[in-house]
Amino acid sequence: MEAASIPQTPTPPQRKLGDVLRDNSLWLIFGLVLVLLAIIDLKEQDNILPLANNIKDGLSVGTIWALIALGYTLVYGIIELINFAHGEVFMIGSFITVSLFVTFGLTEDTALFGLIIGMFAALVIAMLGSGVLNVMIERVAYRPLRGAPKLASLITAIGMSFILQNVGLLWRPTPDSAPDLIKSQVELFTLFGVDVVRSDVFAVAVTIPLLFALLYFVGQTKYGKAMRATAQDPDAARLMGIDVNKTISLTFLLGGLMAGAAGLIYALYNLTIQFNQGFTAGLIAFTAAVMGGIGNLKGAVVGGLLIGFVQQTVESRVDNGSAWAPAVVFAILVLVMVFRPQGLFGEETREG
Amino acid sequence: MRLPRVPAMSRSTRLGGEVMADLLVATNVTKRFGGLTAVDNVDFAVPEKSIVTIIGPNGAGKTTFFNCMTGLYKPTTGKVTFDGKDITAKPPHVVTQAGVARTFQNIKLFKTMTVLENVQVGRHARLKSRITGMILRTPFVRREEEEVERRSRELLAIVGLERRRYQDLASSLPYGDQRRLEIARALASDPRLLLLDEPTAGMNPQESDELTVLMDKLRTELGIAILLIEHDMKVVMGVSDHITVLDGGQKIAAGNPQEVRKNPRVIEAYLGSQA
Amino acid sequence: MSAIRNTFGRVSGLVPFWVWCLVWLLAAIAFGFIGDEVFSDELYDASITTLGYVMMALGLNIVVGFAGLLDLGYVAFYAIGAFMGGWLMSAQFSDRDIHFLVSDVTEKLPGIHLNFFLVIFLAAAVTAFWGAVLGAPTLRLRGDYLAIVTLAFGEIVPRVFELSESGLFGIGSTNWSNGRQGITPVDKPFAPIPGLDEITRLDITPYFFIALFMVVLVLFLNFRLRDSRLGRAWIAVREDEVAAAAMGVNLVRVKLWAYAIGAAIGGFAGAFLGVYRNTVNVDQFEFGFSVFILAMIIIGGMGNIGGVIAGAITLSLFERFALPELNPLTQSLIDFDITAISFGIFGFFLLAMMILRPEGFIPNRRRKMELHEGEDDETATGPGDESLYAVRG
């Protein structure tokens, strides 16, 4: 790049209040919303229980969004492409899960030991299934178009998404119910007045180990290093002897694994699965990824939790909330992409 | 070690006996990208109808400076005026409308358009057709379109491109012709100042000579001032009225070709960068 | 394939352009008069909706094909246009009593009833405004970000309509969309001219000619703009924004015009389709529709007006007929209802198209060049765009 000028120790430019505010604008907005909701609750009921519930629910459903968002962010980080079919990978994960439950004969009455073994096996298989599916999608729809303009890959991604949705439609033409294996609504304990039920704990309990495993893999292993190198500079990575194609496939695999896990959690959380759950879920999770800073793993998780909170808040406080929530999330997507495309943790583009 | 500042050119300059007003004036222009200072406090002026060249080792900040002049980058500090009007940080199309046109270091022609269409786009800023007129194809619009085509052909002839190539795709032209096309396209906006970024890059000596002749022709026949970034010293010495030398983002020398050639700091910058 | 194209090119070069247009126009008019007798009623009906889709494709072509702005939310403009038709030509706002140039029968009905020919232009104008409004935030976005934001808008707009059954966003109490039932019936077109003064739903011939007339207008607009300085500016912007801006093209203004005009055409066609189908219902407006229209442009050859029309006709008729016709065959051979995978077949088609022939069947020579640029570059890992960062503009 350009040679630096002969240094006179530069005085770092003063950070003005305006800059600080602008850099943390998303956090500030979020903080304001929290305060506002707290005030509303206090006025209506003298306590902030509804807000606390929103937070609790947001955190637990947010794990699903976080896992799916990780898939988006991993893929975008390495090849700068939005994997449009990722939502469908999540959907297939759910479908595989429920089919496995039936095959294994798991019902609400199965003994605890069998239940745990069965669910664990289902988790592994669903994750692998989704992972492999994601790898296949890359091979078929994206790799042939590596040098082509973005439009081409976006179209193939949409095409792939449609194909998979049709697969889902043929598999289960009407919404199917998943067995309530974890007895999701049973209260386990109460924290600060908020009732925590089994599905909350389950979601978090599945997600946290996966997150740690992923972060360890990407941060500490040589494969993870290869991924990060390829994301930064594919040509240099290639020159260093990294097999870029394999690394990209690995990235898709990881993203798919996360989406598969999300599929299982969703099935047990929502208790209903249907072929088009991927479209909306995909967009919501994508919003989370963008909000966190696309390409940033930590951001995807935080974004997922935040979006979960938003979704729960809207659903519980607004009339016809479950129809409103996606619209609100999409509006957030637009606002973030237009006003703060780097999200919470992303970097400024060169001409910010 | 901070180099002593080189004084800016005086507001009016003697040029071949005539006193010329400054057309483009840059004052204290600095451009920082994060921690990197690409252009450091540069003062600069281009008088009317003159040919001024910026030289300097690779990475000295020349193209970045150009970009600051034309609105592609927003200078971190500093001011740029053109013909008295402040054009600092104005969007590129406003700068072009004011009368500054440019070419690019890696040729940015519209590859899927024909030679003629490329030049026609260059005239966009000078045209006044409005939507309703375009849809109805009023006499005014028809006349304007005819004028655009006529003027485009004229400019292509001036830069020396053969008529039979006008309907060819721009990308099918040989390299040297592509550079000429880019110049013709820039001329289409009737600029008073033309910024050329390494126009002779990749050209053989004969093509470079032809380009030098063209530049002189533009100056004398069309009255256009030219600001050039160049590496080819023969061209630089041959065509420039005035040379400014940048190194590491700073202006380290300025003057006429004879003065600059002998300037020890300039020699050191070039030799030093080769070491 | 290219041999056919070359001969076609040579033959068509012999005949001046306007003669070709006349030939096609006459053929269309002939079809209009005898189509339902020579072919089936179903085909005739399909041809009318096809004309509507042709308009939409031409509109989207301005945004995507000319200006290169990847818009995945075109269905929003269809919705706005259709609802404009629904609001201004039905009993939806039965507490009002506004009539303008309508038939005697309609004169007596409650609600707002304006003349069809006025409404389609009003719809175009309103939709144009919204096109600019929705386009404005996207101006500095690149490639896929732009696509996603437009997609989000394409989802938000129909939902706004859906959620405005009692008041806009629940504010007020006007029923804007009648929820899942939709607005129905919608007035028939009317003009005090013989042939247009007694339109019923039994004889759909007048609808065909109205649609044809609208298509001709839209085509006229397209050709004029394509060959104007705005058209050149659009192509320049699509090719290289930075260079275009340096040539004096005001990026903001030029892009907003693309959105506005593209949207206007979508609203124009949308109003017609709402009237023709006699119902405006939020369920009609889904993401799949945006992709459907986009696919027409892609198949036909983006930017190429003739190609886009061909693509629109092909895809529209294929969707309507090909699979249902094929069904008896597959049912008998392998006991499979092929219409159940029409969505998947469409997806597969998109996939195949982009991999094998992204420039479309009747390619614009420009697009062909652009799309095959990165082909020999086996070492590429990322998309072929040069400018990664959005240039100010």
Using alpha carbons only, what angle is made at residue B117 by residues B113 and B120, rounded to the nearest 5 degrees?
145
Q: Is the predicted pLDDT of residue A137 greater than 90, yes or no? A: yes
Range 70-99 of C in CB contact (< 8 A) with A = 70, 72
Q: Using an 8 Å CB-CB cutoff, list chain A residues near C159.
A: 323, 326-327, 330
* pLDDT number for residue C392: 30
Residue C291, judged by CB atoms within 10 A of its CB (0-12, 13-18, 19+), counts as buried
Judged by CB atoms closer than 8 Å, whether chains meet at B38 and A2 is answered as yes
Domain range for C42 is 14-191+201-366
**Which of C302 and C214 is assigned the larger pLDDT?**
C214
Integer Cα distance of A22 and A27 in angstroms: 10
Q: Which of A1, A2, A6 sits opposite B1 (nearest CB)?
A: A6
Can you tell me whether residue C103 is helix, strand or coil? Answer: coil
Q: Which run of H or E residues covers position C111?
A: strand C111-113
* pLDDT number for residue A64: 96
Residue type, C296: M
Against chain B, the chains showing at least 3 CB pairs within 8 Å are A, C
Integer Cα distance of C236 and B109 in angstroms: 9
Q: How far apart are the first and last CA of chain B?
A: 20
Q: Using an 8 Å CB-CB cutoff, list chain B residues near C224.
A: 134-137
| Domain boundaries of chain A, sorted by first residue | 53-339
Q: Average pLDDT in the C32-52 region?
A: 87
* pLDDT number for residue C229: 93
* pLDDT number for residue C62: 96
Give how far A168 is from chain C: nearest CA, Å: 10
- Give the mutation candidate from B37, B72, B274 for the A interface (greatest A CB count, under 10 A): B37
Q: Does A147 reach chain C within 8 Å, measured CB to CB?
A: yes
Helix (H), strand (E), coil (C) string for B172-190: HCCHHHHHHHHHHHHHCCC
Cis amide prior to B7 (ω within 30 degrees): no
pLDDT bracket for residue C8 (50, 70, 90) = low
Range 94-153 of C in CB contact (< 8 A) with A = 137-138, 140-141, 143-145, 147-149, 151-153
Tokens of A235: 């040509």
Q: Is the predicted pLDDT of residue C386 greater than 80, yes or no? A: no
Q: Is the predicted pLDDT of residue A235 greater than 60, yes or no? A: yes
* pLDDT number for residue B3: 52
Can you tell me whether residue A240 is helix, strand or coil? Answer: coil
Q: Is the predicted pLDDT of residue C384 greater than 50, yes or no? A: no
Residue C202, judged by CB atoms within 10 A of its CB (0-12, 13-18, 19+), counts as exposed
C353 CB contacts (<8 Å, ≥6 apart)? A155, C295, C298, C299, C360
The CATH number linked to C98 is 1.10.3470
Judged by CB atoms closer than 8 Å, whether chains meet at A238 and C162 is answered as no
pLDDT bracket for residue C176 (50, 70, 90) = confident
What is the DSSP track for chain B?
Answer: -PPPPPPPPPSEEEETTEEEEEEEEEEEEEEEETTEEEEEEEEEEEETT-EEEEE-STTSSHHHHHHHHHTSS--SEEEEEETTEE-TT--HHHHHHHTEEE--SS----TTSBHHHHHHHHTGGG----HHHHHHT-HHHHHHHHHHHHHHHHHHHHHT--GGGTTSBGGGS-HHHHHHHHHHHHHTT--SEEEEESTTTT--HHHHHHHHHHHHHHHHHH--EEEEE---HHHHHHH-SEEEEEETTEEEEEE-HHHHHH-HHHHHHHHHHH-
Residue C389, judged by CB atoms within 10 A of its CB (0-12, 13-18, 19+), counts as exposed
The label of the residue with tokens 């004398």 reads B220
Q: Using an 8 Å CB-CB cutoff, list chain B residues near A8.
A: 2
Quickly list H helices, chain A: 17-23, 25-45, 49-79, 86-104, 112-137, 150-171, 198-220, 222-232, 234-239, 244-270, 277-292, 297-317, 321-339
Give how far A6 is from chain B: nearest CA, Å: 7
A272-273 and A176-177 beta bridge pairing: antiparallel
Handedness of CA A135, A136, A142, A144 (dihedral sign): positive
Give how far B101 is from chain C: nearest CA, Å: 7
* pLDDT number for residue A167: 92
Range 185-244 of B in CB contact (< 8 A) with A = none
| Chain B residue with Cα closest to A12 | B35
* Half-sphere CA count of C374, side-chain side, radius 13 A: 21
How many CB atoms are closer than 10 A to CB B267? 13
Domain A53-339 has CATH 1.25.10: no
pLDDT bracket for residue C378 (50, 70, 90) = very low
Integer Cα distance of A137 and A143 in angstroms: 9
Q: Per-residue confidence of chain B (275 residues) as pLDDT tens digits?
A: 455 555 554 444 444 555 667 889 999 999 998 888 889 889 989 998 899 999 988 878 899 999 999 999 999 999 999 998 999 989 999 999 999 999 999 899 998 899 999 999 999 999 998 998 999 989 999 999 999 999 999 999 999 888 888 888 898 998 889 999 999 999 999 999 999 999 988 888 888 998 999 999 999 988 999 999 998 888 898 899 999 999 888 888 888 888 888 888 888 877 664 44
**Range of B233-247, C19-33, C229-243 with top mean pLDDT:** C229-243
* pLDDT number for residue C85: 92
Q: Which of A1, A8, A350 sits opposite B2 (nearest CB)?
A: A8
Point out which residues pair with A273 in neighbouring strands.
Answer: A176
**Which of C124 and C20 is assigned the larger pLDDT?**
C124
* pLDDT number for residue C376: 43
Residue C208's nearest CA partner among C378, C379, C51 is C51
Can you tell me whether residue A3 is helix, strand or coil? Answer: coil
Give how far C117 is from chain B: nearest CA, Å: 20
Q: Does C313 reach chain B within 8 Å, measured CB to CB?
A: no
- Considering the domain boundaries, does residue C283 fall inside one? yes
Mean pLDDT taken over chain C: 84
Judged by CB atoms closer than 8 Å, whether chains meet at C152 and A283 is answered as yes
**Domains in chain B, please, with CATH?**
1-99+191-275 (3.40.50.300), 112-186 (no CATH)
Q: Does A6 reach chain B within 8 Å, measured CB to CB?
A: yes
Give how far C134 is from chain A: nearest CA, Å: 10
Q: Does A151 reach chain B within 8 Å, measured CB to CB?
A: no
Ramachandran angles phi, psi of A4, nearest 5°: -70, 155
Q: Does B3 reach chain A within 8 Å, measured CB to CB?
A: yes
Q: Does A80 reach chain C within 8 Å, measured CB to CB?
A: yes
In angstroms and rounded to an integer, the radius of gyration of the C-alpha atoms of chain B is: 19
**Cβ contact A86:A259 at 8 Å:** yes
DSSP state of A187: E
Judged by CB atoms closer than 8 Å, whether chains meet at C344 and A166 is answered as yes
B162 CB contacts (<8 Å, ≥6 apart)? none
Q: Is the predicted pLDDT of residue C50 greater than 80, yes or no? A: yes
Tokens of A77: 């980080």
**Cβ contact C359:C371 at 8 Å:** yes
Give how far A19 is from chain B: nearest CA, Å: 14
Q: Using an 8 Å CB-CB cutoff, list chain A residues near B60.
A: 2-3
Q: Which of A146, A327, A338 sits opposite C381 (nearest CB)?
A: A146
Ramachandran angles phi, psi of B82, nearest 5°: -130, 120
C269 CB contacts (<8 Å, ≥6 apart)? C52, C53, C55, C56, C59, C78, C81, C214, C218
- Considering the domain boundaries, does residue C319 fall inside one? yes
Residue C223's nearest CA partner among C140, C306, C128 is C306
**Cβ contact C188:C201 at 8 Å:** yes
Q: Is the full-model pTM beyond 0.90?
A: no
| C280-317 tens-digit pLDDT | 999 899 999 999 999 999 888 777 898 899 999 999 99
C152 CB contacts (<8 Å, ≥6 apart)? A283, A330, A331, A333, A334, C73
Count up the domains in chain C and report the number: 1
pLDDT bracket for residue C379 (50, 70, 90) = very low
Q: Using an 8 Å CB-CB cutoff, list chain A residues near C380.
A: 146-147
Using alpha carbons only, what angle is made at residue A141 by residues A138 and A145, rounded to the nearest 5 degrees?
100
C333 CB contacts (<8 Å, ≥6 apart)? none
- Considering the domain boundaries, does residue C374 fall inside one? no
Q: Does B74 reach chain A within 8 Å, measured CB to CB?
A: yes
| A19-59 tens-digit pLDDT | 777 778 888 888 898 898 888 888 888 888 888 889 999 99
Residue B270, judged by CB atoms within 10 A of its CB (0-12, 13-18, 19+), counts as middle
**Which of A105 and A96 is assigned the larger pLDDT?**
A96
Q: Average pLDDT in the C248-259 region?
A: 96
| A170-186 tens-digit pLDDT | 999 899 998 888 876 77
**Which of A101 and C171 is assigned the larger pLDDT?**
A101
Against chain C, the chains showing at least 3 CB pairs within 8 Å are A, B
Q: Which of B110, B127, B137 sits opposite C240 (nearest CB)?
A: B110
* pLDDT number for residue B35: 83
In the A/C pair of chains, how many CB contacts fall below 8 A? 166
Q: Which of A149, A330, A338 sits opposite C371 (nearest CB)?
A: A149
| A242-275 tens-digit pLDDT | 999 999 999 999 999 999 999 999 999 999 999 9
Q: Does A239 reach chain B within 8 Å, measured CB to CB?
A: no
Residue type, B254: A
Judged by CB atoms closer than 8 Å, whether chains meet at A2 and B2 is answered as no
**Which of C331 and C47 is assigned the larger pLDDT?**
C47
